[in-house]
Amino acid sequence: MKKVAVILGSESDLPVVEKAFGVLEEFGIPYAVHIFSAHRTPAEARDFALHAAPEFGVIICAAGMAAHLAGAIAANTVLPVIGIPINSGALGGMDALLSTVQMPSGVPVATVAVDGAKNAAYLAAEILAVGEEDLYWKLMLSRGKTSAEILEKDRKLAAKYNK
Ligand code: RP5
For residue 39, the domain's CATH number is: 3.40.50.1970
Domain of residue 150: give its range: 133-163
In whole angstroms, how far apart are CA 56 and each of 9, 25, 67?
Answer: 19, 16, 22
Residue nearest to atom 9 of ligand 1 (CA): 10
Tally of domains within the chain = 2
Q: How far is the CA of 58 from the centre of ligand 1 (A)?
A: 22
Query: Tens place of pLDDT for every residue, the chain, 163 residues?
Result: 999 999 999 999 999 999 999 999 999 999 999 999 999 999 999 999 999 999 999 999 999 999 999 999 999 999 999 999 999 989 999 999 999 999 999 999 999 999 999 999 999 999 999 999 999 999 999 999 999 999 999 999 999 999 9
53 vs 77: CA distance, rounded Å: 8
Q: How far is the CA of 92 from the centre of ligand 1 (A)?
A: 13
Residues 122 and 137 in one domain: no
Residues 9 and 26 in one domain: yes
Residues 137 and 109 in one domain: no
Q: Which residues line ligand 1 (CB under 6 A)?
A: 9-10, 12-13, 37, 63-65, 86, 88
Residues 150 and 120 in one domain: no
Q: How far is the CA of 25 from the centre of ligand 1 (A)?
A: 26
Q: How far is the CA of 145 from the centre of ligand 1 (A)?
A: 36
